[in-house]
Amino acid sequence: MEQEILVKELLSKSDRSFTLLYDNYSKSLYAVIYNLIKNREEAEDVLQEVFVKIWNNIESYNESKGRLYTWMLNIARNTTIDKLRSKGYNNSQKNQSAENFVYLFEDNSKIVNRIDAIGISRFIKKLKPKCIQIIELLFFQGYTQQEASEELEIPLGTVKTQNRNCMNELRTMINE
């Protein structure tokens, strides 16, 4: 279904539109959420919250500012980061058993598979190493721009500029 038609359907709040939205985007949004949160149950809860936010806020989507998927991806990413930073979530993570940390020992190649789930790894691989590093920190590890600045030991303004330039370069590659 084309984006414009889906948006019109969503604005009409039809049950069919929600089903189409979920069927077309749940797997890729879940992959992004899980990549940040690393817990299946928590990722499923956040995914549900994301779809409720999308449904309730579809009127705020502006087609001239970007694609629907990008808008939804930002909602998913921001909701997940909010969850990770919440006091309740942090307290719940303090007394977990060792079983919950198995993902730390996963083969690093599986990270590529999770990125592939949203279909952009082939484009990211074509970017400059600095762009790959910034995108990895900001979008796949959930760093804020300030945290990325500290991690990379470069000024915040430089991170912001490089992020914008890298995203523009990625956008150009995807639209070719």
The mean pLDDT value of the chain amounts to: 81
- Identify the pLDDT of residue 43: 93
Q: Mean pLDDT, to the nearest integer, of 22-48? A: 92
Query: Given a cut of 50, is residue 107 above it in pLDDT?
Result: no
Whether 33 and 80 have beta carbons less than 8 Å apart is answered as: yes
Residues in the chain: 176
The 10s digit of each residue's pLDDT in 140-164 is: 777 888 888 998 999 999 999 999 9
Query: Given a cut of 60, is residue 124 above it in pLDDT?
Result: yes
- Identify the pLDDT of residue 158: 92
State if pTM tops 0.75.
Answer: no
Inter-axis angle of helices 145-152 and 156-175, nearest 10: 110
Sign of dihedral through CA atoms 114, 33, 68, 133?
negative
Backbone angles phi, psi at 102, to 5 degrees: -55, -35
